[in-house]
Chain A
Amino acid sequence: MVAEPDIRGIASSVWGEMLGLPLEEAAATRPPECITGVVQISGGFSGTVMVELSRPLARKVAAALFAMELEQVTEAEVVDAVGEVVNILGGNLKALLPGPSTLSLPRVDEGEPGPGPGRLHARAGLSSDAQALCISLFETPAP
């Protein structure tokens, strides 16, 4: 099953290979006001992958993905970028979990972090450019 180092490893690849942004280990602190991206896994394992990041970091991620200046980034591009990041995290985590399973389309919301959809399975606290982010895998209890 998935553990914290698996999440850190996949996040390192995304941040290093796709975004070109620094990524460091940090306490698993959920940003107080954050943008949240979620994607569901259904099948051999049922649960949710969630990435929570501050608005400034979400803008940096979008600027990196679109290769544009921070000031040029639109709200739609932030949503697109966070959705794509959680999609990639989810797809790679799904490959480590019991299958076969399917991945949903990503959803992106903004606000205070909620309790999380299900039982927390693993969580990694990270920091990029001094901005906290948190990646969690929740398991949906069997009905």
Chain B
Amino acid sequence: MKILVVDDSKAMRSIVLRTFRQAGLDGHTFVEASNGREALELIRTSGPDLVLADWNMPEMNGITLLQTLRAEGNNTRLGFITSESAAETKEEALKSGALFLLTKPFTVDTFKQVVAGHLA
């Protein structure tokens, strides 16, 4: 699968990629973007199979990215990996069409439980 990891923190993008390896979820190709606007262009042009996006980012945040995609009729699968853990945030994410909202910090086991099922 081609997976797009979107986060304004390079550290966080590196953690996500490392957690894939630690969880034994190998065999994927990764592309990175540092904000929602950059991600939107990459999704339009290179069509990833799955997007893992942060919520709070400069230029365009994660929820606007998701809502923009859906408004364009683009159903690329997207899950959030974010420090946001409030119930209303999760509700808004799922209502807008997100697969899941994984809260940081997370363990390798939690990451695997949440993400692995969406890699088929």
**Smallest CB-CB separation from A68: which chain B residue?**
B14
* In the complex, chain A residues whose CB is within 8 Å of the CB of B88: 99-100
Given A17-B107, A67-B18, A103-B56: A91 in contact with B85 (beta carbons within 8 A): yes
Query: Taking the complex as formed, is B1 at the interface, i.e. its CB lies under 8 A from any CB of chain A?
Result: no
A91 touching B82, Cβ below 8 Å: yes
Interface of A is mostly: helix
Stretch from B5-13, B25-33, B42-50, B67-75 at the A interface: B5-13
* Least Cβ–Cβ distance between B61 and chain A, in angstroms: 9
Q: What residues of A have a CB within 8 angstroms of the CB of B104 in the complex?
A: 18, 88, 91
The B interface is mostly helix, strand or loop, or mixed, namely loop
| A90 partner residues in chain B, CB cutoff 8 A | 83
Question: Bound state CA distance, A99 and B84, in angstroms?
Answer: 12
Q: Is the CB of A77 within 8 A of B10?
A: yes
What residue of chain A has the Cβ atom nearest to residue B11's Cβ?
A65
B116 interface residue per 8 A CB criterion: no
Number of residues of chain A lying within 8 A (CB) of chain B? 27
Give Cα distance in the complex from A78 to B14, angstroms: 14
Which A86-105 residues have a C-beta within 8 angstroms of B? Answer: 87-92, 94-95, 99-101, 103-105
Chain A, residues 39-72, CB within 8 Å of chain B (1/0): the string is 0000000000000000000000010011100000
With contacts A92-B85, A95-B86, A103-B56 taken as known, whether A14 is within 8 angstroms of B11 at the C-beta atoms is no
Instruction: Report which A residues bind B (CB closer than 8 A).
Output: 13-14, 17-18, 62, 65-67, 77, 80-81, 83-84, 87-92, 94-95, 99-101, 103-105
